[in-house]
Amino acid sequence: MQPVQFEQAVMTIVSRDKRYEPHGFFFLKDALDFTLKRVADGNAGSARHVSGQELLDGFRDLALEQFGPMGSTLMAEWGIHECSDVGEIVFLLIEEGMFGKQESDSKEDFTGDFNLREALTHPFMPKRLVPAKPAKKAVKK
Does residue 137 surpass a pLDDT of 80? no
Does residue 42 surpass a pLDDT of 80? yes
Q: How far apart are CA 7 and CA 3, in angstroms?
A: 6
Give residue-wise pLDDT tens across range 84-99.
999 999 999 999 999 9
So what's the pLDDT on residue 99?
Answer: 94
Annotated domain spans of the chain: 3-124
Give the end-to-end CA distance of the chain in Å, rounded to a whole number.
Answer: 81
Q: How far apart are CA 127 and CA 123, in angstroms?
A: 9
So what's the pLDDT on residue 52?
Answer: 96
Record the pTM.
Answer: 0.85
Q: How far apart are CA 108 and CA 59, in angstroms?
A: 16
Averaged pLDDT for residues 3-11: 94
Q: How far apart are CA 93 and CA 96, in angstroms?
A: 5
What CA–CA distances, in Å, run from 82 to 18, 60, 96, 99, 112?
Answer: 16, 11, 22, 20, 9
